[in-house]
Structure 1
Amino acid sequence: MTEAIAPGYSVRPFDEADIDGPYLGWFQDQEVTRYSSHGKLAHGVAHYRDFIRTLNRSENVIWAIVHENDGHVGNIGLHAISALNRNAEFAVMIGDKRHWTKGVGQAAAKVLMAHGFEKLNLERIYCGTAATNVAMARLALALGMTEEGRRRSHLWLEGAWVDVVEYGLLRSEWRQAQG
């Protein structure tokens, strides 16, 4: 499965071979991992190989975001998929900073939301992010998500406690936005 998402970009299943490219370097870049737990602890290749093996279970859908010239530039996924509750947690990371602010995260997310609602039969897709993560908040809102709550002083981030803002999107809201 490879699916075009925007001119020059596509998504495909994330593969263990992806860690042989720029992937591991993203976790050493504190700007890339600023809002992620990945950048807080140093891990080696073996850790990420094990991590990838756990991602490729039925409770996760992880896609690589690929640029036609630059290759693997990010990941996007649905995590903790619950067949019983029909929900999943949304996450995205554009690791190659040359592709920030180009709309690629939003383009990939739209395809992923369709996959979650249409193929996985989810009722709700949600995410949480640091209140200071303006880009993720913008993305969540652009996808039609609603702010659902706040976990106060939940993250220790750059020397201060930061709230986590929770967002969610229901299938009916997603369908309505599709027209």
Structure 2
Amino acid sequence: MPGPVFLDGDTVSLRPATDADVSFLRENEQDPQIRASRSVQTPVSEEQARRRIGGTMGRSDDTLGLLVCRDTTPVGFVYLLREQPNADVYRAAELAYWVTPGEWGNGYATAASELAVEYAFAELGLHRVDASAFESNTASKRVLEKLGFTREGTARRAAYVDGEWIDVAEFGLLESEWATGRHEQS
């Protein structure tokens, strides 16, 4: 059972992970289908999964990491990563997310990301949220487009996945764009 609701939406809620969620996190972050869409390609240890407990993580606990839940059932994880140098000065974060393969196509990544981005701008006072997706990950790119992110370029052959170099699509969203409701028109 995940921790108490932190952010609540119509179809999902975002909650801090607890000790009881460590096996869910490890099992899913090891899943080949999830790994194929993420830049993290090594096995996740129990210690690494435990770093996601409590809702904050990272070098200075500036990164937000929350379970994506349908009712009380975990179906994914969403991050606002604040690990880049000067992220605090630039008021920036990187959005990342994953959803269990059995729940793909239900809109949970979009709903969770929308809650996280709203929190980033309205509560954290961020200026910019970045995101990226492997060029082949059409579903993830569509999530970002629905939320109003602008494709800003391609990092050519920037990720090494399954023995080959692949391109990474780079996206950005400014607070001013979010405030004008661009995400509501997609």
Shorter-normalised TM range: 0.7 to 0.9
Establish whether residue 84 from structure 1 lines up as the match of residue 89 from structure 2: yes
- For residue 23 of structure 1, what is the aligned residue in structure 2? 25
Write the letter of the residue equivalent to 1:41: T
Write the letter of the residue equivalent to 2:150: T
After superposing on structure 2, the runs of 4+ consecutive aligned residues of structure 1 that deviate more than 6 Å are none
Establish whether residue 63 from structure 1 lines up as the match of residue 77 from structure 2: no
Establish whether residue 171 from structure 1 lines up as the match of residue 172 from structure 2: no
Write the letter of the residue equivalent to 1:176: T
Structure 1 residue 99: deviation in Å?
1.5
- For residue 49 of structure 1, what is the aligned residue in structure 2? 50
The unaligned stretches of length 5 or more in structure 2 are: none
Establish whether residue 129 from structure 1 lines up as the match of residue 116 from structure 2: no
Cα 1:15–1:84 change in 2 (3 A) is farther
Equivalent pair of 1:6/1:104 in contact (CA under 8 Å): no
Write the letter of the residue equivalent to 2:98: M
SS at match of 2:78: strand
- Residue 17 of structure 2, aligned match among 11, 14, 18: 14
Establish whether residue 150 from structure 1 lines up as the match of residue 154 from structure 2: yes
Equivalent pair of 1:129/1:166 in contact (CA under 8 Å): yes
1:136-164: CA deviations, max 9, x gaps?
11011111000112111111223322111
Cα 1:171–1:47 change in 2 (3 A) is closer
- The 2-side partners of 1:62 and 1:46 are apart by 15
Q: TM-score, normalised by structure 2?
A: 0.83
Structure 1 residue 50: deviation in Å?
4.5
- The 1-side partners of 2:79 and 2:47 are apart by 21
Give aligned-pair identity as a percent: 26
Write the letter of the residue equivalent to 1:27: E
Residue-pair matches, total: 174
SS at match of 1:61: strand
Two-structure CA RMSD over aligned residues (Å): 2.2
The unaligned stretches of length 5 or more in structure 1 are: none
Cα 1:43–1:75 change in 2 (3 A) is closer
- The 2-side partners of 1:98 and 1:145 are apart by 26
